[in-house]
Amino acid sequence: GENVEQHPSTLSVQEGDSAVIKCTYSDSASNYFPWYKQELGKRPQLIIDIRSNVGEKKDQRIAVTLNKTAKHFSLHITETQPEDSAVYFCAASNYGQNFVFGPGTRLSVLP
Amino acid sequence: DTAVSQTPKYLVTQMGNDKSIKCEQNLGHDTMYWYKQDSKKFLKIMFSYNNKELIINETVPNRFSPKSPDKAHLNLHINSLELGDSAVYFCASSQQRDGYTFGSGTRLTVV
C-alpha cells in the first residue's frame, strides 16, 4: 500500500520568510496530491492540490511542485504571516480515493 | 450551511460503554470516510464507504463499526470503549478525483 513521509516534523520561520515542506510517496499509481492546513482545534482544510499531469501549481503565496520520477512533492509558502501557523498535511491518493496522509508538519511563524 | 457535519463535538464517557458518532454530508459526494487523529496529530484512515463498497483498515479493532443508512450519512459505532480510543475522530466525504471535505471533528475522551 501507499506510504507517505513528510519532513520536517516541525518548522519555525521568521515572518516574511519562506517555508518549504517536502513529502515522498511510495505508490507510483498515486496521481492526486492535496495539501491540508489544520489550525489548532479545527478541521483540516484543503489549501492546494496537484494532479500527476502537472509539475507545478501556484495560488497566491502558496505553490506546490511535483516530481513524479522521484515520487516527491513539496509545499512552498512565501512571505509567511502569523496566520500561516498551523499543522500542514500532505496526502497521496489514486483518483481522490482513500487518501494516505503524511504525519504532518507543525509550522510556526515567529513575529 | 455546513457541508459535512458531525455530532457530538465532544464526547466524554467511561470505559466499557458503547457510543455512536453521527456524520452527514450535503455535498452529494459518493464516498465517506472516518479518520482517527491521535495526540500526535497523525491522521489514520479507519473506513471508507460508498454505495458499493466498504473498505476497512485492517488495523481497526472490530469494536468499531460504520453504519450507513443512506448515501449522505456514515455513522461510527464503538463498542466496549477503551482508554486508547481517546482521540479526535473526523468524518470526511469526497467525490472521485477531488479532495476531501472534513467534518469539524468529535473529541472522544474515555475515562
Model pLDDT for residues A69-97, shown as the tens digit of each residue:
999 999 999 999 999 999 999 999 987 66
| Alpha-carbon distance B16 to nearest alpha carbon in chain A (angstroms) | 27
Number of cross-chain residue pairs from A and B with Cβ atoms under 8 Å apart: 53
pLDDT digit string, tens, across residues B74-99: 999 999 999 999 999 999 998 876 78
Tell me which chain B residue has its CA closest to the CA of residue A38. Answer: B41
A42:B104 CB<8 A: yes
Residue in the structure block whose three cell numbers are 459505532? B77
Contact B41 A87 (CB under 8 A): yes
The tens place of each residue's pLDDT in chain A, 111 residues long, gives 889 999 999 999 999 999 999 999 999 999 999 999 999 999 999 999 999 888 999 999 999 999 999 999 999 999 999 999 999 999 999 876 678 999 999 999 999
Residue B59 has pLDDT above 90, yes or no: no
Rg, C-alpha atoms of chain B:
13
Compute the half-sphere exposure of residue A59: CA atoms within 13 Å on the CB side of its CA: 8
Cβ neighbours for B57, distance < 8 A, ≥ 6 positions apart: B44, B45, B46, B47
